[in-house]
Every structure is written in structure tokens, then in C-alpha cells.
Structure 1
Amino acid sequence: MIALGCDHGGFELKQEIIAYLKARKIEYKDFGCYDNKSVDYPVYAKLVGKAIQSGECEKGILICGTGIGISIAANKMKGIRAAVCTDCFCAEATRLHNDSNVLALGGRVVGPGLAIKIVDTFLNTEFSGEERHQRRINQIED
């Protein structure tokens, strides 16, 4: 299951991502926000992070205006590896090399067409499992 969260700056893009997930019958849980009234992104980063930490969800997608603030908040949580991606190359690399479990997007940075391609790449790329990458992830976790 995919955990979704956004602030007001990411609300519109989250609706596009929900449509993509529904069309592909990918299970998700929407942790908010639920409209474009101003809210604080750390609240939603924490909700999504907790869902991943607990095992309720396998991966997450977080969206704010740039993707930066919400990813910083998420990365404060143990076991969360959130990556801001603005293209498919970054989405693939962060899964292959970092085993990132949260994709962060900027609702004011990437358009819906590109965002869906980034989400697709992120969700369909497996961690390479290479020892050098696992060693580095372990160092981050420590």
C-alpha cells in the first residue's frame, strides 16, 4: 500500500496521482490534506512516515510546493529515506541505489504528466541490493 500526503501546495498534484493509482488498481491511503487551504507540511510528512514505520504502508508519496520542505520533515524520521525527484532518472536512481521509501514531489515544480512518469518509475524500480549501496544505507541509518 502507498501512503499519500501533501500540503496545500501539493493538493492538486495529489489528485492526479490518486487518479493514476486508481486506474492501475494500486492500493493507497490518503493522509491528507484534503483541500488547498493553507496547512503545515510537517504534519503530513509525519503521518506518512508513521504509516511506513509501522508497516501499514510499504512506500509513500509526499507533495508540497517544491517537495523540499516535506522531504526534510520526513527524513527526520527513523527508517524514512525520502528523495525529491524532478525527473525519472532521479526516481530510478534513488530506488536502485538508496532504496528510498518515500518519493517527494513539488506541485509547483513538475507538471502532472511528468509527475505520473516519475511516480511510475519510483514504484516500479526495485532496490539493486548491491553490497556497496546497502553499506551506504546502513551508514545513513547509523
Structure 2
Amino acid sequence: MTIAIGNDHAGTEYKFEIIKHLENKGIKVLNFGTNTNDSMDYPDAIHPVAEAVETNKATFGIILCGSGNGAQITANKHQGVRAALCWNNELVSLARQHNNANILSIPARFVSLHQALGFVDIFLNTPFEGGRHQTRVDKIPIDCN
């Protein structure tokens, strides 16, 4: 499994801890985020994560910004990406079970590091239920032709 991760300045601390957490589990990580706390524009780190998921270079993505909103909006501009903004365990589970989310957006300024690490584990270990949910997920993309 390969995870693409991207962050702006608000998510740097959490990103480093998430990378350690994933690597301790033997998971390969592609780091597209900033490594500093200097202000930067979140789309510059989020588009590469979404592209990695979109092109199957990564199994899943994890994105972090202050509110999680900008990161999620940016990622969802990519076809085949289903980024979910989650701030509690139930939302993370439902994002995987019902929406087959392939990118987890974490609001770094609104959750603890402990919570964020828990979200990552839930996200990676929760399967998509398929069935009636697959029918709904299939209706998400827009045919641009």
C-alpha cells in the first residue's frame, strides 16, 4: 500500500507524526506537503496528492490544512477522487463504508494529534460496503464530453 500525503503550514506537525505512524506499519508514503510552518498555498500540496490517487500511484491520500475545507475542495476537483473532510471517528468510518472515500481530509486546527492518528487507522482499515452505496458512488463523476 502507498499513501500520498500533503499539507499546508497548518498541518506540518501532524504530517510528520502521521508519516512515522504509517512507516511503522510498513506503509510507503509519498510526501507532497510542506515541511515547514511557513505560510504556503494549500492547492500546491493537495493537487499532487489527488493526482497520485487519481493515477493509482497511491492507494489512498491524506491531506491536512487548518480547517480541512480548502484541502478537500481542491482534491475533489480531480476525477475519481472522493475526498472526505472528517472530524470524528464515525464520519471517517462512514466516508469509507458509504462513499468509498479515497482521500481523508483532516482539519489540523480542530482535532488533536491523537484523534488524527486514530482517523488514519480507521480510514485505512474500514472497507467500502458496496451494494446500494456503489450505485450512488457511480453517479458522482460528471461526464465532461
Do Structure 1 and Structure 2 share a fold, with TM-score over 0.5?
A: yes
**1:19 shift after superposition:** 1.5
**1:13 shift after superposition:** 0.9
Question: 2:59 maps to what in 1?
Answer: 58
Question: 2:99 maps to what in 1?
Answer: 98
What CA deviation, in whole Å up to 9, does each residue of 1:80-128 have, x standing for no partner? 1000111111111110000000000011111110111111000111111
**1:141 shift after superposition:** 1.4
Unmatched runs of 5 consecutive residues or more in structure 2:
none
Question: 2:134 maps to what in 1?
Answer: 134
8 Å contact from structure 1 (residues 12, 107) kept in 2: no
What CA deviation, in whole Å up to 9, does each residue of 1:35-80 have, x standing for no partner? 1111101111110011111111010000000111100011111111
Question: 1:22 maps to what in 2?
Answer: 23
State percent identity of aligned pairs.
41
Counterpart of 1:35 in 2: which secondary structure? coil
Count of aligned residue pairs for this structure pair: 141
The Cα RMSD (Å) is 0.9
Distance 2:55 2:35 in 1: 23
Which stretch of the first structure deviates more once superposed, 25-34 or 99-108? 25-34
8 Å contact from structure 2 (residues 89, 122) kept in 1: yes
**Normalising by structure 1, what TM-score?**
0.96
Unmatched runs of 5 consecutive residues or more in structure 1:
none
**Normalising by structure 2, what TM-score?**
0.94
Question: 1:31 maps to what in 2?
Answer: 32
